[in-house]
Homo-oligomer: A and B are copies of this chain.
Amino acid sequence: MSDNELRSLLTDQSEATPSGRIVRVLSERGPMSAREIGENTGLAKSTVSTALTELRRAGMVVDGVGDSRISGVGRPATTVSLNPQVGTCVGLLIGMEHMQLIVADVSHAVLAERTIYLDPDFSPEEAARTGARMLAEAYEEQHLSRDTLLGIGIALAGPVNPEDGRMLRAGGMPHWAGLDIRATFEPALQQTVIADNESNCSAVAEMMWGAAVGQDDFVLFTLDKGVGGAIVNNGRVIRGIAGGAGEFGHMSINPDGPLCRCGNRGCLEVYASLRQPLEYASKRFCRPVSIEDLVNMAKAGDPGCLRLVEDTAVAAGRGLALIGSALNPPLIVVGGRLALAGDLMMKPLEDSYDRHTLVRRADVSDAARTRFVVSRFLENDACMGAVGLVLRHFGRSDIRY
C-alpha cells in the first residue's frame, strides 16, 4: 500500500466508489464502527463490509486504532480508522503573540506539538519563516518523511474571507488586513494550505474529536482574553459571506458603552473577556496574573477572584442569551481558558443565559433543552482544529474544507 493510493482515494472526488466514500468519511469524522460508516455514507451493510475487507487488505484502514490516542478521547474498540502510517497532517495556529504547530497522523494521533512566542505585531513574512522552521524541526525530530504530509491547516486570530482567502480588517489581526494567506504561506511551507479563523478551527476540533462528537448542530462559545465562537449547523461551520460569522465577542450589546478594539462601542468582549479582570487582579496582587492564576485562586476560594470569574460568566451568559434567542441550539460548548474554572463559571453562565433568553430550559422537556458542556480542548483547540481542516478538506467533496 502506498501513500499515493490513499491520496488518490482522498482527492479523486469524481470517483464515488464505496472505498473512496469510506476513506473520506473516516477522514472527516474520525474512527467509527461499520454501522456508523453505513449511516454516514448511505452504503448498504454488505457493501461497507466488502469495501472494508478490501481496504484492510490494502492497508488503508485498521481496526481499533486511534481510540484513545488524543487526550484520552474514548471510543468503543470496534471502530475502524484510517491507517495512521499512510499520511500526516499539520495544524498551525497563528495567534496574536504566539505560534503553535501540531503534527498528527490521519488517525488524528498527535505526533509532535510545539509553541513559539513572538513579539506582538509580527509580520506575515516572519510568521511564514517561523512556520517553515517549526515544520522542518518537527519532521526531523520525529524522523518523519515530508512525503507523508497531506496538507497544512492554518488557524488565524481573525476572520478569513472564504471567497478569496484574504484576512479581514475586522478581528484580532487588523495589521494583516487584506493578506492572501495561501499566497503568503504556501511558498514558504511548500504545501497546500487551508486557512480559517481560530474559533472556527476550535469548533472543527470539538466536532471531530471533542465535546461535540456526533453533534451536527452546536454553538461554540469561547471565553479567554477575547470572546469568540462558531456556529455549526448540519455538520458544517457557518463561515459567513465574508468569513465574519461566529464573532460573538463583537456583538455590540451597548452602543453607548466603552470603545472596543474593533472600533464599535459596548461589544460583548468589553464586558465578558478576561482582559479587564486580569488587569484588576494584577493590580491587586501587585504581579502579572494569568488566566490560569486567576482560575486557580478562584478555585482556592479567594473571594475577589471568585467574584471576577462569576461576574465575567454572568456578562457572558447575557451575551450568549442573544445567541440562544436567535438559534436555540441543542448544545453549547464553552471553551477558552475561563472554562478551566469548571462549575464556578458554568453555573453563573447558565443561570444568566436562562434569565435572558426566550426559551428557558426549565420550560421545556429534557429532549428539547439546550445542553451546556465545557469544551474538551482548552489548550490546543484551534491548532487541533487546523489539523481537522486538512482532514475535512479531503473528506468532503462539497465544501472548501
Contacts and interface: CB of A to CB of B under 8 A. Distances in A.
B241 A330 contact: yes
Interface string A355-391: 1111110011101111000000000000000000000
A66 interface: no
A328 B242 contact: yes
A300 interface: no
A231 B248 CA distance: 16
A281 to B, nearest CB: 26
Given A161-B364, A253-B253, A358-B250, A329 B233 contact: no
A141 interface: no
A398 to B, nearest CB: 10
Contacts of A363: 168-170
Nearest to A352: B255
A247 B328 contact: yes
Contacts of A355: 264
Contacts of A241: 217, 328-330, 368-370
A359 B264 CA distance: 11
A132 interface: no
A368 B242 contact: yes
A85 to B, nearest CB: 35
Contacts of A8: none
Most buried by B among A163, A217, A262, A328: A328
A248 B357 CA distance: 11
B368 A247 contact: no
A234 interface: yes
A340 to B, nearest CB: 25
A325 B234 contact: no
A326 interface: yes
A252 B359 contact: no
A159 interface: yes
A246 to B, nearest CB: 7
Contacts of A188: none
A252 B170 contact: no
Nearest to A233: B233
B368 A248 contact: no
Contacts of A217: 238, 241
B233 A238 contact: yes
A238 B327 contact: yes
A27 to B, nearest CB: 21
A244 interface: yes
Most buried by B among A242, A252, A318: A242
Contacts of A264: 355-358
Interface in A227-268: 231, 233-234, 236, 238-248, 250-253, 255, 262, 264
A169 B329 CA distance: 17
A367 B161 CA distance: 10
Interface string A327-344: 111100000000000000
B323 A326 contact: yes
A131 to B, nearest CB: 26
Contacts of A168: 359, 363-364
A164 interface: yes
Given A164-B367, A217-B241, 17 more contacts: A163-B365, A170-B358, A170-B359, A231-B327, A241-B369, A241-B370, A242-B369, A243-B328, A244-B328, A244-B358, A245-B327, A246-B326, A247-B328, A248-B326, A252-B357, A255-B356, A323-B326
List 4 tightest A-B contacts by C-beta distance, closest first. A240-B328, A244-B328, A244-B359, A242-B368
Interface of A: 159, 161, 163-164, 168-171, 217, 231, 233-234, 236, 238-248, 250-253, 255, 262, 264, 318, 321-330, 355-360, 363-365, 367-370
